[in-house]
Structures are given as structure tokens and as C-alpha cells.
Amino acid sequence: MGKVLEEARFAVAFTESMKETAQTQWPHARGKIFVQSQGISTAPNAAFNWNSFLQRSDMKKHRGNEIALRMGPVEGTSENLLLACFYVQLHTLGNDEVLEINQSADHLHVFLLICGLRRVKDPLYLVDAFSEWHQEEPNVYMVIVGPEVDPVFTREVEAKVKRSPGVRLVGEMAQEDLHAVVKNSFAVVNSSVSEGMSAAILEAMDLEVPVLARNIPGNAAVVTHEVTGLLFSDPQEFVQLAKRLVSDPALEKEVVANGRDYVRMYHSWQAERDTYGHLVRMLEGSPED
């Protein structure tokens, strides 16, 4: 807890220093500059069924089967029957969002990557390394969750995931369901090339889930290595740190506790609400410049 407070005090001091510098450069703005960290609020869906989520098949898959079945009984030679069966199989394999992780949740380690499918989020950065690890340890999975932002890049991601054992792709989810998925996952991953302040990282901390984040300035600003989470610089280091987290419950417990304390102390949604409320009241009571 001492290191968390030390890092947080540094962040506050740095922020105040920036505020003072701005007021020096623009003296007319004195009293008008407010600094408020992003507030975080999480609300997991209490009715969410984790096992059903892991075992689900995409509805598009079922629709493909229904189209084939509506063709009616196959008449004629065995070759025709074979073609009809192949038709069904094409529709089954040609769809995304088929998790089908049929393992006991007690022994499963799901690493969750939440991002819109665009290149700056780099969702494919860890896929090869993670897939190799999955083939060594079949109980580890990486699940990528997020909306289609760049359609061309999305097709690239879909094609890569289909060829990568242990990696799954899920489309956009309702926020409460996504928070439930985070809560049930072993860890949340961020592999972005560039990041401002990742809400997914802060929400994971609030939900008491470990964070593994790519070591870039935006992530390092909120994740202190081995204190509030783990930072990696390449896919191989990610796998090393992920294995360490799986095998070291004490480390997991420590980063979870520190991350929770950090978010609740410095990313309170109540504090953000109060700051904006104060600002609005002040503007309402101030004469126009």
C-alpha cells in the first residue's frame, strides 16, 4: 500500500505542477483551470452466466444450419448427400464469435483483451505467442472483445483468430455484461500501440481483476509494474509475466488489492461528479467575460 500511495502522491504533485505552470503561462486563466482524473464506475450484470458465455455458439452459426436444413431431405446419390453435409459445415465454420470453451471454469484462465477492432489497439500483437502458450497449456485462453471499427482490419483479425488455437473473438457487448465478463476473467490485457487513459484497465482494477498492459506512456501512467499491475514490452515478456501471475497467487492478490485501492482513491466517480457539479455552479454564477 505504501508504494501505491507514493506513486499516487507523485501523480497528484505532477498534476498540480502542470496546473501551476499553465496558470503562470496564462495568468488570465487563474482560478479557471480544473484538474480531475477520469472517474470509474462498474456494474456487472448479476444474472450473467459465465459458463453459458464460454460454451456459446454464435447465432449466425445456427442460422447457417437452418438455411441448410430448409433445403429439405437430400435425394439421390451419396455424392449429393456429401455435398449437402459440406454445405452445412461451411456455414458452421465460416462464422465468428464461437467460443465453445468446454472446460471447467475452476481450472480455466481467460485473459481478456477489450478493444475496438482498429490498428492502434493492436489486438493481434499477442496472438501468436499466446496461441503457442495455449498449445502447451490448454486451459489458458485469450478472448478479444470489442466492436468492429475498421471493417477491413476486422476481416484481418477474424482470419488470424480462426487460425490461432486458444484465441477467440467476440463482438460488442452491453456494458453490464462486459463488466461481468471482466469480473470472471483471470486478467485483463491491453496491447495498444498508443493509449490515453484506458477505461478498461481502470475498470478491471475496480473489479479486482489483475491487469497486464503494454509498456507505453499512457498505460504506464496508471499501471505501476508489480504494484498495480504488470507491464510488458514484447509478446514473449507478456507470456512470461502471465505464467508468473498464474503460478503466483500472492502476486495476483497484491496487484489486485493495490489496483483496487488506487482506482478508488484517485479515480472516484463521485469525485468527478462533484468536480463537474462545482464547475457548472460556478459558471452559472459568474458574469460573462
Q: Which of 23-37, 145-159, 246-260 has the lowest mean pLDDT?
A: 23-37
**Confidence check: pLDDT of 238 > 80:** yes
Q: Are 190 and 211 a contacting pair, CB within 8 Å?
A: yes
214: β partners: 232
Q: What is the pLDDT of residue 56?
A: 74
- The pLDDT tens digits for 1-46 are 555 445 444 444 445 555 555 556 666 666 666 555 676 788 999 9
Q: What is the pLDDT of residue 130?
A: 98
| Nearest-angstrom CA–CA distance, 211 and 238 | 11
Q: What is the pLDDT of residue 285?
A: 76
Q: Are 57 and 65 a contacting pair, CB within 8 Å?
A: no
Q: What is the pLDDT of residue 270?
A: 59
Considering the entire predicted model, what is its pTM?
Answer: 0.73
- The pLDDT tens digits for 222-235 are 999 999 999 999 99
Count of positions (residues) in the chain: 289
pLDDT band at 197 (very low <50, low <70, confident <90, very high): confident
- The pLDDT tens digits for 77-123 are 443 434 333 333 333 333 345 677 866 666 899 999 999 999 999 99
Residue 168 contacts by C-beta under 8 Å, 6 or more apart in sequence? 98, 99, 101, 141, 142, 143, 144, 161
Counting beta carbons within 10 angstroms of the beta carbon of residue 270, is it exposed (0 to 12), middle (13 to 18) or buried (19 or more)?
exposed
Q: Are 171 and 147 a contacting pair, CB within 8 Å?
A: yes
